[in-house]
Amino acid sequence: MINKMELKFSASLSNEVLARQAVIAFISPLDPSLEQIGEIKTIIAEGVSNAIIHGYELDASKDVFLKAIIDGEDLELTITDYGKGIENLEEARKPHYTTRPDLERAGMGLTIMETLSDSFAIKTLPGMGCKLVIKKKITHESVAYGTVSR
């Protein structure tokens, strides 16, 4: 069965928790492990905070869009902003690269998202925005942490 949800919220960092909790509640029927919940929260936090901080430069009059689709064990997340986009994507994807060292950003968001997901795609155009499509399987067999499988 395919199940879908969509969320649109103001580009304020105070809404990041809403984005995280909404998706966690949405996938709870799949009975994800604590590690999977943590990883999905981190993926969403990185994507949403990038949209708010970099895409919209903290302009809360703008909107961030979050979509989640579950198809069996497959979770697909789409995070979209219509902000300033990424000028040089190759540069931006490098670990430790950040355009906001003043905010003590670590430049690791894109690297973390890519590592934690099974597939990770970025579509961006300067001045047009940024769209992330992230896929992650919610399986119990993948005993990634040596925990007991159910």
Partner 1 sequence: MENKIKFTAFDEGLVIKISGELDSMKTMTYRDKIHREMIKLGPRMLLFDFKDLQFIDSSGIGLILGRFNEIDKIGGVVGITGLNDYSRKIFQITGILQIIEEYQSTAQFKKKARINL
Ligand X SMILES: Nc1ncnc2c1ncn2[C@@H]1O[C@H](COP(=O)(O)OP(=O)(O)O)[C@@H](O)[C@H]1O
Active site residues: 46, 50, 105
Q: Which is nearer to ligand X, 105 or 140 (CB)?
A: 105
For residue 149, give Cα distances in angstroms to 44, 87, 120, 140, 142. 25, 44, 26, 6, 8
Single-letter residue type at 98: T
Considering CB under 8 A, how many residues would be counted as binding partner 1?
29
Q: Sketch the per residue contact string, 3 through 42, with partner 1: x for CB under 8 A, - otherwise.
A: ----------xx-xx--x-------------xx--xx-xx
> Residue 120, SS3?
strand
Q: Does 19 bind ligand X (CB under 6 A)?
A: no
Query: How many other C-beta atoms are found inside a 10 Å radius of the C-beta of residue 115?
Result: 13
Indicate whether 115 belongs to the interface with partner 1 (CB under 8 A).
Answer: yes
Among residue numbers 42 through 61, which ones bind partner 1 (CB under 8 A)?
Answer: 42, 45-46, 49, 53
Q: Is 100 in the site for ligand X (CB under 6 A)?
A: yes
If one asks whether residue 50 binds Mg ion (CB under 5 A), the answer comes out as yes
Which is closer to partner 1, CB of 1 or CB of 146? 146
Helix locations, the chain, DSSP H:
16-27, 34-50, 89-92, 109-116
Q: Nearest approach, Cβ of 119 to Mg ion (angstroms)?
A: 19
Residue pair 132/139 in contact by the 8 Å Cβ criterion:
no
Q: Output the residue with the shortest Cβ distance to Mg ion.
A: 109
Give dist(CA 42, CA 123) in Å, integer.
20
Rounded to whole angstroms, what are the CA distances from 89 to 7, 95, 112, 122?
Answer: 26, 12, 16, 9
- Interface ranges with partner 1 (CB under 8 A): 13-14, 16-17, 20, 34-35, 38-39, 41-42, 45-46, 49, 53, 95, 103-109, 111-112, 115-116, 145, 147
